[in-house]
Amino acid sequence: MRHSGLCRGGLCRGGFCRGGLYWPIGMVALLALAGCGNGESADAVEAAGQAEATEVRVAPEVGGRLISLEVDEGSRVEKGDLLGTLDTRDTELAQARARADREAAAAALALLRAGARPEEIREAEAQVAAAEAQVQAARAELNSAQQDLERFERLLEARAGSRKQRDDAATRVEVGQENVKHAGEQARSARETLARIRSGARREELAQARARVAAMDAQIATLEKQLGDARVVAPAAGIVTDKLIEEGEMVAPRVPILVITDLDRAWANLYVPEPSVPRLRIGQSVTVRTDAGGRGVEGRLTYISPNAEFTPRNVQTAEERSKQVYRIKVTVDNREGVLKAGMPVQATLALAPVQ
């Protein structure tokens, strides 16, 4: 959220607008109350300017539809007060899915940590035994086929057997060799599975499972924050001076929807001529007055600009355009709300004696 001074219809660049009339700074900044007109030997200087206050632009961290707005322009709020609420149904559904995924990831991690159960080991051992039995059977079949092939080859040489019988026996040998190879691969795979089950999960598998759980925890925390951010609360005490959205409208993330002005911590920007600046003192008491008259507001001089400003270019005479003024800041106790942002103000500032 940004803080900025509030200027409404009072302060024009380099001058003041009052009641539609333009008052250049060079005409209102100085009225010597005593002594010579050049201000060097005067006891005080009259300065004019404008009351300002801190603006806080309230912008939700998340977007969504605004389903309720609890304040209106002019409402006084305290820090932490509920200002509005955004629709959270989509976020709540996403949170439910994330919690379910987290439970599944945690269960998988627990299984890896616990290792294999006895029945799983027994099942793997049985698969190894079955695979090795298949290897023995395939080898026996291959031996039988090889013996038949040798017998038919001898018969064929003695012209007592047929070539077809010999070829069929050769085919059975080839098939038997493939069966032995396949059975051996199956047995090797079964033995590796048994060894892995007996040794438990690898460190890499455990690390991956833990990372999945941590990722789900982070997602759940993010969704929790989004649910909290859907409740828009006042970041500071003050008065709602601008309402930028209505109920039912869509809100974009970090786009202001309200402006709160803290009038309790108001200040006055005043302008004094260059000759008077060296005789002002930070911390000196100042009474700020309004055009309405009555009791002024007490304050203290808290800032003197190091940079001079020329009076506006549209001042009629060259003499007035050549005058320079300095902005000063008077911080006031405005808890009674006497000053309003943008209000024209004046103050009489005591000048220190000429050294």
Q: Which sequence spans correspond to the domains of the chain?
A: 11-86+239-350, 97-220
pLDDT for the residue 160: 76
The whole-angstrom distance between residue 12's C-alpha and the CA centroid of its chain comes to 37
Which 3-state string (H, E, C) describes 222-234? HHHHHHHHCEEEC
The span from the CA of 180 to the CA of 169, in Å, is: 17
The whole-angstrom distance between residue 301's C-alpha and the CA centroid of its chain comes to 38
Task: Say which residues have a Cβ less than 8 Å from residue 202's Cβ, sequence separation at least 6.
Answer: none
Q: Residue 47 CB: number of other CB atoms within 10 A?
A: 30
Q: In the chain, which residues have pLDDT < 50?
A: 1-41, 312-317, 320-321
Task: Say which residues have a Cβ less than 8 Å from residue 268's Cβ, sequence separation at least 6.
Answer: 49, 50, 51, 52, 288, 299, 329, 330, 332, 339, 345, 347
pLDDT for the residue 42: 76
pLDDT for the residue 34: 35
The CATH code that applies to domain 11-86+239-350 is 2.40.30.170
The span from the CA of 13 to the CA of 328, in Å, is: 15
Instruction: Please choose, from the candidates 1, 78, 48, 52, the residue with its C-alpha nearest in 3D space to the C-alpha of residue 263.
Output: 52
Q: What is the pLDDT of residues 73-125, one digit of tens each?
A: 999 999 999 999 999 999 999 999 999 999 999 998 887 777 667 777 788 88
pLDDT for the residue 184: 92
pLDDT for the residue 322: 57
| DSSP per-residue string spanning 152-193 | HHHHHHTT-S-HHHHHHHHHHHHHHHHHHHHHHHHHHHHHHH
C-alpha separations of 216 from 94, 209, 219, 224, 336 in Å: 12, 11, 5, 12, 52
Instruction: Please choose, from the candidates 351, 342, 325, the residue with its C-alpha nearest in 3D space to the C-alpha of residue 6.
Output: 342
First vs last C-alpha separation in the chain? 46
pLDDT for the residue 10: 36
Residue 251, H or E segment: strand 250-251
pLDDT for the residue 27: 37
pLDDT for the residue 70: 96
- Using a 10 angstrom Cβ sphere, with 0-12 exposed, 13-18 middle and 19 or more buried, the burial of residue 153 is middle
